[in-house]
Amino acid sequence: MEAAKLAAQLTQHQKNALETIANQMARPGRGLLAADESVPTLGKRLVAAGLVNDEEMRRAYREVLFSHPDLGEYLSGAILFSETLGQRAVKDAEGRLFPALLQSKGVLPGVKVDLGLEPLDYSARETHTKGMNDLMERCQEFYAQGARFAKWRAVIRIDEAANLPTRACMQINSAELARYAAICQACGLVPIVEPEILIEGAHSAETFARVTEAALSEVYYTLAQAKVFLEGTLLKPQMIMPGVDSPSEGRPRPEEAARRTLEALRRRVPPAVPGVVFLSGGQTEEQATQNLNLINQLAKQPASSLRPSSTTCPWILSFSFGRSLQASVLATWDGKDENYEKAMEVAGALAKANAQAQLGEYQGPHPSVLKGQSLHETNRGWGASARVGGGKGESAAGATATVSPSGETAA
């Protein structure tokens, strides 16, 4: 069924429920833990730490992340991988499943519903996201398992020399995000809309801002065309920053990055959206916290000196961090049961620091144990040998679409 038809069938009761969940997620002083790494992605991190990548190790690691008694004071939600929905907390006295454990702390369980990326045939360095074929059935199952929101990651790559991103790539990914959002809402799940702009490359912050605004324009135009209920969604963007290979001289100060980020959101994101939850985007743990803090401090100031009574933004500005809430935890835990309590305290301290940053009240010191280590990873989730369905990919309406080298899309 087309996204607009799905959206048109939402009852007022369903809309009220979705809006309630979205506002529970977008609460002051709280954010989201992104613990939804796939088996291969988490496995690489475990192996790099000298640990085995098996189901029990993954379960034990995630129990460390979810077990701090005060987690609900700092987190409103946690994004899980599908495997994690059915796993139990063995150190919990009741042996509860992870979704029930999180709910007992006031943390809403969510789930990653995309199945990774694959290249577009016409542009092998650009991607679309897999997982649309059976998405309705999987979302219904995830809701039954306790999930109340979902995440789907679309990726936009910048390469000015190669004229990337193409308009067709933005259109395809926006259409998929709209269909995903409509399916999620039909199943009772609040969709997090994630058009991630990759930081790979030598592009400037100005270019990053321009592409961000273009991507957000395309996404919200397409969501509007699909009649997605915006009050029951969240946005997960990247903070505005130059590419990781850009010259170190002349890189913008954090205050300038915060200003550009707010400017892009203010120009392109509808006020109906309850919250914006940022990626940590390969920053160090401390940088991600400091930049979120700056964004929220700036958000309290007037949007323009010509309009001193205006506010910078109508949304809760928070975090949906993955490695910035995890890397120090994994380093501290190291797979050893005797380190469980200490690692759990690190998980709580990282969540608390970012909760303070959401309020613009973070002062430090930061609980990171990594001494400024970069958390950047290249080409996450992209199997470069994959192709889109033998040359055809699903459009937002569920039909097939072919894409020509010129970037034109024909349904």
What confidence score (pLDDT) does residue 285 get? Answer: 96
Concatenating the DSSP letter of every residue in 209-265 gives: HHHHHHHHHHHHHHHHHTT--GGG-EE--PPP---TTS-STTPPPHHHHHHHHHHHH
Tell me whether residue 336 is one of the annotated catalytic residues: no
What confidence score (pLDDT) does residue 383 get? Answer: 44
Which tens digits make up the pLDDT trace of 265-289?
A: 999 999 999 999 999 987 999 999 9
> Considering only CA atoms, which of 382, 388, 385 is closest in space to residue 120?
388
Query: For the residues 385-392, what does the mean pLDDT come to?
Result: 32
Query: For the residues 325-347, what does the mean pLDDT come to?
Result: 98
Decide if pLDDT at 386 tops 50.
Answer: no
CATH topology of domain 1-304+312-359: TIM Barrel (3.20.20)
Decide if pLDDT at 218 tops 60.
Answer: yes
Contact 73, 43 (CB under 8 A): no
What confidence score (pLDDT) does residue 2 get? Answer: 85
Give 122's pLDDT tier (boundaries 50, 70, 90).
Answer: confident
Q: What is the CA radius of gyration of the chain?
A: 20
Decide if pLDDT at 392 tops 50.
Answer: no
* 335 conformational bin, left if phi > 0, alpha if psi -120 to 50, beta if neither: left
Tell me whether residue 130 is one of the annotated catalytic residues: no
Least confident range of 112-121, 198-207, 244-253, 326-335:
244-253
As to burial, measured by CB atoms within 10 angstroms (0-12 exposed, 13-18 middle, 19+ buried), residue 14 is: middle
> Considering only CA atoms, which of 94, 102, 22 is closest in space to residue 62?
102
Out of 37, 194, 218, 394, which one is annotated catalytic? 194
Per the prediction, the chain carries an average pLDDT of 90
Q: What percent of the chain has pLDDT over 70?
A: 88
pTM metric for this prediction: 0.90
What confidence score (pLDDT) does residue 373 get? Answer: 73
Decide if pLDDT at 302 tops 80.
Answer: no
SS3 395: coil
> Roughly what angle, to the nearest 10 degrees, separates helices 135-144 and 167-186?
40
Strand partners, 127: 119
Omega before 165 within 30 of 0, i.e. cis? yes
Domain ranges for the chain, please list them.
1-304+312-359
Strand partners, 164: 159
Contact 344, 91 (CB under 8 A): no
User: CA-to-CA distance for 181 and 172, rounded, in angstroms?
Assistant: 14
SS3 190: strand
Out of 130, 151, 236, 352, which one is annotated catalytic? 236
What confidence score (pLDDT) does residue 313 get? Answer: 85
Contact 172, 120 (CB under 8 A): yes
What confidence score (pLDDT) does residue 311 get? Answer: 60
Query: For the residues 166-175, what does the mean pLDDT come to?
Result: 97
Query: For the residues 315-327, what does the mean pLDDT come to?
Result: 97
Q: What percent of the chain has pLDDT over 90?
A: 82
